[in-house]
Amino acid sequence: MAATDIARQAGEGCRTVPLAGHVGFDSLPDQLVNQSISQGFCFNILCVGETGLGKSTLMDTLFNTKFEGEPATHTQPGVQLQSNTYDLQESNVGLKLTIVSTVGFGDQINKEDSYRPIVEFIDAQFEAYLQEELKIRRLLHNYHDSRIHACLYFIAPTGHSLKSLDLVTMKKLDSKVNVIPIIAKSDAISKSELTKFKIKITSELVSNGVQIYQFPMDDEAVAEVNGTMNAHLPFAVIGSTEELKIGNKMVKVRQYPWGTVQVENEAHCDFVKLREMLIRVNMEDLREQTHSRHYELYRRCKLEEMGFKDTDPDSKPFSLQETYEAKRNEFLGELQKKEEEMRQMFVQRVKEKEAELKEAEKELHEKFDRLKKLHQDEKKKLEDKKKSLDDEVNAFKQRKTAAELLQSQGSQAGGSQTLKRDKEKKN
């Protein structure tokens, strides 16, 4: 009998046994709270929006502090993500806050791939957590979770409609992070225009299939307030760190020549609603949704790419050992196949190289024979020239000998005639 059937039968016939005295497991919530407080919490916010929409100012206003950072310019060649981590303390609760801002988003002429660095950054955080999870010795309790829990998407207060860049980017992000659209610098348009703008944005998001984060309705304690706040999305917010004394207290304001806009006045903007929903009411749900929905989707897709499955083709459960053996055999088969292909390729290349060498050797022999024949011809010509020169030299020597002989004979004949004349003179 299956374990679920046994549990179901036991549940049908079970009875409640009252406690005779106090046991103490009612302190489990307190223990959990104390442990959580001692460990601290982490929360990571991604601010996506064009340069100059007040992303840094809104973060300073949300957490009532002044974070480090330099204003970005509009001359960035591409979209870059800048991450900063801060340790905050409120009462006795510690929070490790990471703020990731998009630098240069929307400043390029070609905005086709502006969303790609953002998606790659989110996937990189998921991958880092997955690698830590897959380790044999895991240290998840000490691991700094850098996964993005909330994405505040800043919409320019144009009052007309969403830009194509906004629709494409939110569509790419809605399956990877909790997207909360907000209208930045909402004091730039009138209240009537703002109402129409909100309706226009909501209809465009629905018609384009963009799934934004909806505040949870399953908890009765916050269902009513979350339902009301879901109707206010996207929030129209204003950020400012400038304080002014109004009445008996200091409030954050933006001053204009025509008047003053109070940041925390709900009649002026939705900043208080955003802070309540994001930090005070639904921060833990954002963290939970990131882990149970977005990260699990990434993890499932990644493991399926690696070949891991829960069931075999017959819908029978797969054990990790069987999956590992199947993947190992598959990998060894592919490795052997690649090895055979490389061997065949090596043999083919050796044959081609041998053919090339034989052809080169043949060409060298032919060249050697040509040179040898040319050398023999040159040698024969030289020998013929040498023979003709020897003949000429011998003929010259013979002519020379004959000439010398004639000369000697002539000199002898001249000498005898001289002696004869001398004798005649004496007589």
323 touches 308 (CB < 8 A) = yes
pLDDT at position 78 = 86
pLDDT at position 427 = 64
The answer to whether the predicted template modeling score (pTM) of the entire model surpasses 0.75 is: no
pLDDT at position 370 = 92
3-state secondary structure the chain: CCHHHHHHHHHHCCCCCCCCCCCCHHHHHHHHHHHHHHHCEEEEEEEECCCCCCHHHHHHHHCCCCCCCCCCCCCCCCCEEEEEEEEEEECCEEEEEEEEEEECCCCCCCCCCCCHHHHHHHHHHHHHHHHHHCCCCCCCCCCCCCCCCEEEEEECCCCCCCCHHHHHHHHHHCCCCCEEEEECCHHHCCHHHHHHHHHHHHHHHHHCCCCCCCCCCCCHHHHHHHHHHHHHCCEECCCCCCEEEECCEEEEEEEECCEEEECCCCCCCCHHHHHHHHHHHCHHHHHHHHHHHHHHHHHHHHHHHCCCCCECCCCCECCHHHHHHHHHHHHHHHHHHHHHHHHHHHHHHHHHHHHHHHHHHHHHHHHHHHHHHHHHHHHHHHHHHHHHHHHHHHHHHHHHHHHHHHHHHHHHHHHHHHHHHHHHHHC
Residue numbers in the chain where pLDDT is lower than 70: 1-14, 17, 310-320, 427
Domain boundaries, the chain: 38-306, 322-395
Name the architecture of domain 38-306.
Answer: 3-Layer(aba) Sandwich (3.40)
Alpha-carbon gap, residue 381 to 186, rounded angstroms: 105
Alpha-carbon gap, residue 173 to 178, rounded angstroms: 8
The pLDDT tens digits of the residues spanning 195-217 come to 999 999 999 999 999 999 999 98
pLDDT at position 312 = 61
pLDDT at position 139 = 82
174 touches 214 (CB < 8 A) = no
Mean of all residue pLDDT scores within the chain: 87
181 touches 170 (CB < 8 A) = yes
The pLDDT tens digits of the residues spanning 117-172 come to 999 999 999 999 999 988 888 888 888 899 999 999 999 999 888 999 999 999 99
Beta bridge partners of 417: none
pLDDT at position 315 = 62
